[in-house]
Amino acid sequence: GNSWDLDFHTYDETLIWLNNIVNSHPTISSLINFGSSFEGRQMLGIRLGLNSAAPKFFFDGGIHAREWLSPATVEYIVNQLVDGHDRGDPEIISLLQNVEFHVLPIFNVDGFEYTWNTDRLWRKTRSFNQGSTCVGTDPNRNADAGFGGPGTSRNPCSDTYHGAAPFSEIEVANVAAYVVNQTNIHGYNNIHTNAQLLLSPYGYTNQLPADLADHNQIHNASAAAIRSVFGADYEFGPIYSTIYPAAGGINDYLYDQGVKYAVAWELRGGSFSPPASFIVTSGEEIFEGFKVFSKFIAAEF
Ligand code: 0X9
Ligand code: ZN
């Protein structure tokens, strides 16, 4: 493993880490600037691949500020892809030739910073709400996918507050616009902790998506690969029936915009603040599932 993966890292450290990778690997990577957050922080990500004509797969971590294992696991995956390339691992080289990865390690940058300096269990964004002293919107209830529907709150003080309007949160609008403006993008994974589930559309309705059978197939294969590492059981299925109704999810929005495999994975954890030793454990098992998921995309598109 990489020494980066032995600890959780701040927003500032993560910017340096991204810049270091791109500076030392200009042929396989470049920076992605998704725009600025509500408080003016840069939302910085990385593109990784050897073939810009390959189907694209976007994944992000840290949409919920307190879910620190999520950015850490996303960063573990990036390190595995970079290190695998550097040592000439044929499986990783082939992956980088057949899929182009677009990655945003920390989605909710303002909330994440707030968990480091003020409130470890903060979840939402840090935007202001008119007529309320409560701060923040749940970015995972804010997309234009059944907005305001089941599993959302209209109370700005709630942790599942849907926000004033679809895409009122600049961070959610930035990510949605970025993905929608890509061509040939077929995978999107919005990575959370800690329910240990592989979730697929929909969260806003109990109606089943047209691609349910393919979603179940890719997740069944991913879950088997994850299980092969430490025996952990990750169940899978539509958000609505597998965890609970939750409208306004960005994965649902992107699915309805045509991204066929627009999913949300819930990592292991048991809490929102597991010890740093969980990073390598989570990373090792999730990377196996992630490779299987990526290979399905490479094979189909
Ligand atoms: O409630 C949520 O947003 C997710 N659980 S969490 O504990 N990480 O907050 C589950 C909902 C997943 N739904 C979508 N991605 N749409
Ligand atoms: Zn979450």
Residue carrying the six token digits 């599942």: 160
Task: State if residue 141 touches ligand 1 by the CB under 6 angstroms criterion.
Answer: no
Residue 286 Cα to ligand 2 middle (Å): 16
Query: Which residue CA neighbors atom 3 of ligand 1 most closely?
Result: 140
Residue 140: nearest ligand to its CA?
A: 1
The residues that are catalytic are: 266
Q: Is 60 in the pocket of ligand 1 (CB under 6 A)?
A: no
Which-ligand-closest: CA of 197? 1
ipTM of the complex: 0.97
* Centroid of ligand 2 to alpha carbon of 64 (angstroms): 5
**Which ligand number lies closest to the CA of residue 142?**
1
Residue nearest to atom 14 of ligand 1 (CA): 249
269-277 contacts at long range (C-beta below 8 A, 24 or more positions apart): 269/67, 269/69, 269/193, 269/194, 269/196, 270/194, 271/194, 272/66, 272/67, 272/68, 272/121, 272/193, 272/194, 273/66, 273/68, 273/120, 273/121, 274/69, 274/193, 274/194, 276/6, 276/7, 276/8, 276/72
pTM above 0.95, yes or no: yes
Ligand 1 atom at minimal distance to the Cα of residue 195: 7
- Predicted confidence (pLDDT) per residue in 37-94, tens digit: 999 999 999 999 999 999 999 999 999 999 999 999 999 999 999 999 999 999 999 9
How many angstroms does the Cα of residue 47 sit away from the middle of ligand 1? Answer: 25
Q: Which atom of ligand 1 is nearest to the CA of 199?
A: 12
pLDDT digits (tens, 9 = 90+) for 225-269: 999 999 999 999 999 999 999 999 999 999 999 999 999 999 998
- From atom 11 of ligand 1, which residue's Cα is the shortest distance away? 246
**Residue 220 pLDDT > 90, yes or no?**
yes
Q: pLDDT-based confidence at 1, cuts 50/70/90?
A: low
Q: For residue 9, how far is its CA from the centre of ligand 1 (angstroms)?
A: 23
CATH 3.30.360.10 fits 7-55+66-277+294-300, yes or no: no
